[in-house]
Structure 1
Amino acid sequence: MIIAEVVRSGFVESTHHGVVAVDGGPSIGDVDTPFFPRSSNKPLQTVGLLNAGLMPREEADLALISGSHDGEGFHVERVRAMLAAVDLGPEALRCPADLPLGETPRYDWLRGGGAAEPILMNCSGKHAGMLATCVLNGWPLDTYLDIDHPLQKALADAVSRLSGEPIAALGVDGCGAPIFAISPIGLARAFRRLVEAEPGSPERRVADAMRARPELVAGTGTEDTVLMNAVPGLLVKKGADGVAAAAMAGVGAVALKISDGASRARVPVLLAALRRLGLEVPAMPELVLGGGLPVGEVRAVG
């Protein structure tokens, strides 16, 4: 079994059990019980936007719509341009005001006297894509986050179709948008379908855009960006509460949920799962700090 253990000064401090689902291969833990994949759902929702008629200004916009951006300048300006392309401004966004997700962009923004704004929220790219789709269809804008809105019905249909299972439960994500519960194996299955779809299909367009511009999916130096840059052809999308999904055509797909929601266990378990698929992945140590100095690490064992 793959678990992540925290080793501090040579002693095991605690363990975080992982639930790992591998589409078409051996799985570990309870991979059939539905859960909320959080932002790992975003690429599936972007497929739903394309099916509903979204026409991005350029393919790179699909990467940002599918991402959880760090709030760097190039992220924010692209969101602004996406909105302007359909004659909207940042005031149309219904995601909550927030500071940049990335540590450096956040500090830079605060040092410059900035305050929280909806466009800085890490999901603003997804919300811009939702709004653009509504404009193109003539759908109401003020209620685009309502579960009975035609936009959200289209996104639920896409998640269900790609995962190969019905939506088990509905919730509200941190950005205010509906979130759809599926199983870990369903999430892995969906990611595999993205990378193995026919070129030019909505699924493949999303996967290709994310892999071509991984810095738009996350940010400079973040785990999704580093992994997609290091392993050509790999699709990766993390989610809150210890969630991640990844896939490569001809190799397979993996989805994971750290059962206690610890984010620091996510990368070690993801790397271990990708190695089980036979991929060579970079070393990305998850250090444990004490007094500002490394005193241990989170590592996968099993």
Structure 2
Amino acid sequence: MPAPALHAAQTANDAGNLPQHAPLVVATRDGLVESIHYGSAIATARDGTILAAAGDPLAPLYPRSALKPLQAVAMVRAGLKLPADLLALAAASHSGGSRHRGGTQRILAMHGLTASDLENSTDLPYGTIERENWLRAGLHPTQVTQNCSGKHAAMAATCVINGWPVKGYLDPSHALQQLVASAVTELAGEEPFARSTDGCGTPLFALTLRGMARAFGTIAAAAASAAATTPASTPDDGAAVPLRAEAAVGLAMRQHPEMVAGERRDVTELMRLLPGAVAKDGFEGVQLVGLPDGRAVAVKISDGGDRARMPATVHILEFLGLDTARLAGIGTAPVLGGGHQIGLVQPTNFLSNHVNEAL
């Protein structure tokens, strides 16, 4: 039987066409380096100045679910008004717990929609415990339990608000997706290098780590500015004084990190332990963190390894002068032997020569 044909991009084996990643994270076992995770990383100032870089942060990549806060900004600009917990869910890769499933249903009900209007893929809950409980109850994959359901409910709701067709809202030519594409380009400060489809079916854009960092720095700084000028008594009901879209999304994520991911998830923990941070992960080893002063960190692990994503991120945050002692639990991970720790997953000193002058 002949071998299956490969996509043209899969046959490209010229090293000159591959991103020039650097070793970011290692796993050691009894003092010996057992595994190495390569990748690229960048830290930027509010004005876009590169503060630190490793690997190839200008190589295009698909940010995957790290795009969700940018998509949420586009929807708020289009008139989407949700309570803060539900707006955070619109930017989430949630674990599929009861509050996440219930939140998706709330967004739908508020706009006269049902789960049949969702166009995302079906899946089991993403969180380990949530998935085990779901299966133990004899239940099957659904669109509501899929980790992007909050975003999809918000997309369908935005269509209702604007009188756009709900059916086909994922088509790149749909008015909603045209608006999202424009907002992504503006926030990242660069045109997408390529376009594809994410795992849930949503249009996906290839950007650089620098572009994604710029976007997250903008969202986090807008949220910090709004938090500093908004009375603490402002009700968390979506009816407060209108906020700039970037601020609304950033504040919602800050206020409800449990909706952005879930319990026992490192992104939720990071936002709880680092006040003012706006953080989002993406499949295939992507991590973004925006800081209140507009600085931002972006990481891509080349092999898609999830365990390396947060150690590399925490290392850059420490380089930027943040107190990361509270992040020790997510900044490293134990390597076990016979149930006992005998090694560590930890970052290399990849920022020792932190500024690549070629950038």
TM-score by shorter chain over 0.5: yes
Secondary structure, in 3 states, of the residue corresponding to 1:26? Answer: strand
Work out whether residues 213 and 289 of structure 2, in 8 Å CA contact, stay in contact via their aligned partners in 1: yes
Residue 291 of structure 1 deviates from its aligned partner by 5.7
Secondary structure, in 3 states, of the residue corresponding to 1:144? Answer: coil
Work out whether residues 235 and 248 of structure 1, in 8 Å CA contact, stay in contact via their aligned partners in 2: yes
Aligned length: 301
Residue 10 of structure 1 deviates from its aligned partner by 2.3
Q: Cα RMSD between the aligned structures?
A: 1.4
Work out whether residues 217 and 294 of structure 2, in 8 Å CA contact, stay in contact via their aligned partners in 1: no
Asked if residue 255 in structure 1 is aligned to residue 298 in structure 2, the reply is: yes
Give 1:114's aligned amino acid. Answer: L
Partner in structure 1 of residue 334 of structure 2: 287
Partner in structure 2 of residue 237 of structure 1: 280
Partner in structure 2 of residue 43 of structure 1: 69
Partner in structure 2 of residue 133 of structure 1: 158
Asked if residue 151 in structure 1 is aligned to residue 176 in structure 2, the reply is: yes
Residue range with higher mean Cα deviation, 230-239 or 289-298: 289-298
Matches within 5 A, 1:1-302: 3-23=24-44, 24=49, 25-56=51-82, 58-197=83-222, 199=226, 200-250=243-293, 252-281=295-324, 282-283=327-328, 284=330, 285-290=332-337, 294-302=341-349
* TM-score (normalised: structure 2): 0.81
Give 2:78's aligned amino acid. Answer: A
Between the aligned partners of 2:338 and 2:64, the Cα distance in structure 1 is 32
- Cα deviation, 1:245-265, whole Å, max 9, x if unaligned, reads 001122610111011211111
Secondary structure, in 3 states, of the residue corresponding to 2:177? Answer: helix
Work out whether residues 40 and 237 of structure 1, in 8 Å CA contact, stay in contact via their aligned partners in 2: yes
Any runs of at least 4 consecutive aligned residues in structure 1 with deviations exceeding 6 A, and if so which?
A: none
Between the aligned partners of 1:111 and 1:62, the Cα distance in structure 2 is 30
Residue 120 of structure 1 deviates from its aligned partner by 0.1
**Are residues 169 and 251 of structure 1, via their aligned partners in 2, closer, same or farther at CA, if it must alter by over 3 Å?**
closer
Secondary structure, in 3 states, of the residue corresponding to 1:120? Answer: coil
- Larger Rg: 1 or 2? 2
Work out whether residues 333 and 346 of structure 2, in 8 Å CA contact, stay in contact via their aligned partners in 1: yes
Between the aligned partners of 2:35 and 2:274, the Cα distance in structure 1 is 31
Work out whether residues 25 and 37 of structure 2, in 8 Å CA contact, stay in contact via their aligned partners in 1: yes
Between the aligned partners of 2:111 and 2:88, the Cα distance in structure 1 is 18
Residue 181 of structure 1 deviates from its aligned partner by 1.0
**Are residues 13 and 52 of structure 1, via their aligned partners in 2, closer, same or farther at CA, if it must alter by over 3 Å?**
same
* TM-score (normalised: structure 1): 0.96
Between the aligned partners of 1:297 and 1:89, the Cα distance in structure 2 is 46
Give 1:254's aligned amino acid. Answer: V
Work out whether residues 278 and 290 of structure 2, in 8 Å CA contact, stay in contact via their aligned partners in 1: yes
Give 1:253's aligned amino acid. Answer: A
